[in-house]
Each structure stands twice: as structure tokens, then as C-alpha cells.
């Protein structure tokens, strides 16, 4: 009798030990002195914020250092204007093109395909249909229209401004036009010489460019 009670007891102990760590819950901690944040954690959930979200929106119309708002509005007119007037401020160099290719592979190739012919994985699997090739005649994309569409999105395509910076969008832009040339059978563009004689770094060039855009649209 006593023996069976002991066996039963040890069994219960074993089960208890095994259930101490459950995959649905975090493991217990020993004296968690500085484990939890005193400060607000990125993407945390705190009661003091509206909706509990730590990630609050900046005030509308504010401009942070190193960033300029985009001058064209999200409409058909804005699209036409960008298509006609907007130019790529980032120099067309080999490094920039390679960076653009890497980013294109991450963000665009999944639908538009590695060659830009609209045959990406999602299109092949018929998840997303109607992805046009870059040399589609009815669309006739230009560098301005590519930037406008990647910035705002167009109909079914979403905006990519939250995943990339302005400069990265321009880098992708270079590579997209490269793919379009390849589809059209045109020869490759000659690389610009990115020597230091101009002394303007790319970021500054983007900024300056967008400031002038802003000024133009305000006029």
C-alpha cells in the first residue's frame, strides 16, 4: 500500500515537472531584475497611448531631417504630371544598379518576375493575376510614373513607401527601366561616371531634387 502511494506520488511529481514548461506560455524566470523594460519598447502596447499603440503617427505636415515630402498628389492628374516631369536624381552607376537589383528581387520580383515580364511566382501560381510586362504599350512607363506608382500604389498594386526609403525607390527605378530596355531589346544604358567632382552625395541630390519638385507644384 505504502509502496503504491510512493509510486503514485513520484508520478505526480514527474507530471508536474514536465508541465512546468508549456509551449503556449513563456518559461518561468529566476529573479527577473532587469528583464522587463522601464522605458517604452518599440511596437509595445501601453495604456497611456490612444488605442494602446506605442507607435504613434507624427504630426501632419511635419518634416523630419533628411526627408522631404513628395510633391505630386495621389490622383490621375498627379500621375500624369509625375510621368511627364519627374526625373531620377540618383546617378545611374553600376553599384546603384546592383543595389536596385537586390531590392527589386525582394520587393518586386514576387509578382513582376525576375525579368520584369509579369511572370513572378505569385502570377505563375495564379494568386495575383493581370501583372503586365514592363514594356506594355498601353502603360508606357517612364521613370516618373514608376516612382509615382511605387510611392502611392495604383489600383491593385499597393504602396511601397513604407518598406523602402525614397532613395531605394529610385534605385529600384533604375533597375526596372533596365529590365524594360532588355524586354524591348534595346542596348544597355552606359553607366554615368560617379566621380567626386560634383561633390553632391546621392542623398542630398534626392533631397534637393524633391525640394525643387515641391516648389514647382506649389507654383
Binding residues for other proteins (CB under 8 A): 17, 21, 23-30, 32, 34-39, 41-43, 45, 51-53, 76, 105-107, 110, 118, 121-122, 125-132, 136-139, 153, 155-160, 162-165
Nearer to other proteins, 114 or 214 (CB): 114
Nearer to other proteins, 153 or 200 (CB): 153
CB of residue 24 to other proteins, shortest distance in Å: 6
CB of residue 192 to other proteins, shortest distance in Å: 20
Nearer to other proteins, 57 or 190 (CB): 57
Question: What distances in angstroms separate CA 153 from CA 54, 62, 74, 162, 216, one per listed residue?
Answer: 27, 23, 9, 11, 23
CB of residue 108 to other proteins, shortest distance in Å: 10
Nearer to other proteins, 106 or 211 (CB): 106
Residue 214: which residues within 8 A CB-CB, separation 6 or more? 68, 69, 71
Q: For residue 69, give the C-alpha cell.
A: 515630402
CB of residue 153 to other proteins, shortest distance in Å: 8
Q: What is the SS3 assignment for 12?
A: helix
- Which of 191, 183, 182, 179 minimizes the C-alpha distance to 109? 179
In 80-179, where do the E strands start and end? none
Amino acid at each position: 500500500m505504502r509502496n503504491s502511494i510512493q509510486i503514485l506520488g513520484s508520478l505526480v511529481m514527474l507530471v508536474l515537472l514536465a508541465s512546468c514548461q508549456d509551449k503556449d506560455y513563456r518559461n518561468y524566470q529566476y529573479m527577473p531584475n532587469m528583464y522587463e523594460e522601464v522605458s517604452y519598447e518599440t511596437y509595445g502596447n501601453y495604456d497611456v497611448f490612444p488605442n494602446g499603440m506605442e507607435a504613434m503617427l507624427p504630426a501632419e505636415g511635419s518634416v523630419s531631417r533628411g526627408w522631404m515630402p513628395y510633391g505630386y498628389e495621389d490622383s490621375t492628374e498627379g500621375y500624369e504630371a509625375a510621368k511627364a516631369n519627374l526625373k531620377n536624381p540618383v546617378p545611374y552607376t553600376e553599384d546603384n544598379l546592383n543595389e536596385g537589383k537586390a531590392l527589386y528581387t525582394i520587393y518586386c520580383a514576387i509578382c513582376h518576375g525576375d525579368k520584369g515580364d509579369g511572370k513572378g511566382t505569385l502570377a505563375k501560381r495564379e494568386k495575383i493575376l493581370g501583372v503586365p510586362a514592363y514594356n506594355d504599350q498601353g502603360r508606357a512607363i517612364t521613370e516618373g510614373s514608376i516612382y509615382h506608382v511605387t510611392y502611392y500604389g495604383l489600383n491593385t498594386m499597393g504602396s511601397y513607401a513604407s518598406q523602402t526609403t525614397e532613395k531605394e525607390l529610385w534605385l529600384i527605378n533604375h533597375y526596372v527601366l533596365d529590365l524594360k530596355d532588355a524586354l524591348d531589346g534595346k542596348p544597355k544604358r552606359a553607366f554615368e561616371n560617379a566621380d567626386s567632382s560634383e561633390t553632391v552625395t546621392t542623398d542630398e541630390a534626392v533631397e534637393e531634387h524633391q525640394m525643387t519638385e515641391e516648389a514647382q507644384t506649389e507654383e
